[in-house]
Structure 1
């Protein structure tokens, strides 16, 4: 069973409580995909210069956000970890001369549990969380994802969790997309449809409105795209499964790579 790699926008933490077109899409996606043996998530909310991954048998639930309704802080997602899967990931990193540090006790950040709670509400699939490094080059990020590509053939679902347009300083009340945000997303879509790594790796210079869509202080939300793409380097086929917006410029999108 070979699973796709996915890029999934995790949106606002409030998505955990919302019932809308996007949350229903995620629920349906979880039902339609073959049941994974395990899930490995590169999260925008774990940005570290060193490659890190969780090595827990059990996960806590991180409430790594502020100013939200009290109900948000009562939500738990009691997914188990997998020491075995963590070891398999470390072996592949080591074989490619990437030093990875296993950590325990971190828990799952909201970039992970918000989407998994929609896709797999029973929390019955083991999860390994992985850090991203927003200061690495896109080529390096892609190559790290590629190190794990064969795990997809073993029933492991690899996810990059972030947001292609994620500039919280430019959001507003309308859910109608700002023209600049839509233009950036469509440029990305065109490059993905052709797997044009040359342009994608230079998105900051080539894409329209790149500095607004991916501000220097929010690059960590964009880069999980490259980790997820790298995990499907052997197939190089991209399919957009969903696209919408919240707050004018918060892009809610899901891409499948095979």
Structure 2
């Protein structure tokens, strides 16, 4: 069974990340990957929506960065057949979903993936969050998609626990609310037996 990962993708096109540790994770996987399913914090829809395009472009959904960061490329193929499998698994548990074949991969996908898989040699599918971010709804999606992990699909979450890029870029100390939330999340995730209950309180 494939593991699941969550990657803090930093702010915009932050390519100061060292690629070594992230790339090394590929060698820890139990079987060869068939695809990667990415859930990015930068895509929300009224219902869970799958990008089922065969060759999604890059969506430069950031601003005020140097010009070369808008010329980046990462030509990994999409995986329409995996996208269809995602929709089928969701439907089997009564979860309504949509599809989008024209949307590009936002920076929550291509920033970490360009570091994690610079050769762009594995198919990628993106799944949106549901608008409103209801924890119970997203835990239900997690349960529905669990079979993918036995089918060679790596599930990857991409985002940050707290988002204040202006504060981070100016070197400000974390605000109390951010520290409190991060502490609560760490505590909740550290106890698998009570994790689901803690996340849906």
TM-score under structure 1 length normalisation:
0.70
Q: Work out whether 1:37 is the aligned partner of 2:37.
A: no
Please give the per-residue CA displacement for 1:38-83, whole angstroms capped at 9, x wherever unaligned: 0111111111112211111212111111111011011011010111
Q: Work out whether 1:123 is the aligned partner of 2:123.
A: no
Q: Work out whether 1:185 is the aligned partner of 2:182.
A: yes
Contact 1:61 1:113 in 2 (8 A): yes
Separation in structure 1 between the aligned mates of residue 131 and residue 27 of structure 2, nearest angstrom: 32
Separation in structure 2 between the aligned mates of residue 135 and residue 184 of structure 1, nearest angstrom: 18
- CA deviation after TM superposition for structure 1 residue 26, in Å: 2.0
Q: Work out whether 1:4 is the aligned partner of 2:3.
A: yes
Please give the per-residue CA displacement for 1:153-206, whole angstroms capped at 9, x wherever unaligned: 11100112111122235435338x63744453233222111132222223xxxx
Secondary structure, aligned partner of 1:122: coil
Q: 2:98 aligns with which of 90, 96, 101?
A: 101
Alpha carbons of 1:152 and 1:59: their partners in 2 closer, same or farther (altered >3 Å)? same
What does 1:54-133 correspond to in 2, within 5 Å? 54-133=51-130
Match of 1:52 in 2: 49
Contact 1:13 1:110 in 2 (8 A): yes
Q: Which has the higher contact order (CA 8 A, sep 6+)?
A: 2
Separation in structure 1 between the aligned mates of residue 88 and residue 130 of structure 2, nearest angstrom: 19
Match of 1:18 in 2: 16
Separation in structure 2 between the aligned mates of residue 30 and residue 115 of structure 1, nearest angstrom: 13
Q: Structure 2 regions of 5+ residues with no counterpart?
A: none
Alpha carbons of 1:19 and 1:96: their partners in 2 closer, same or farther (altered >3 Å)? closer
Contact 1:48 1:133 in 2 (8 A): yes
Please give the per-residue CA displacement for 1:97-136, whole angstroms capped at 9, x wherever unaligned: 2222221121211100111111111111111111102404
Secondary structure, aligned partner of 1:159: strand
Contact 2:149 2:155 in 1 (8 A): yes
Contact 2:36 2:122 in 1 (8 A): yes
Separation in structure 1 between the aligned mates of residue 114 and residue 27 of structure 2, nearest angstrom: 12
Cα-Cα RMSD? 2.0
Match of 2:197 in 1: 198
Contact 2:11 2:165 in 1 (8 A): no
Alpha carbons of 1:172 and 1:45: their partners in 2 closer, same or farther (altered >3 Å)? closer
What does 1:128-139 correspond to in 2, within 5 Å? 128-139=125-136
Please give the per-residue CA displacement for 1:1-60, whole angstroms capped at 9, x wherever unaligned: x11112221111232x3144xx44323323433442101111111111122111112121
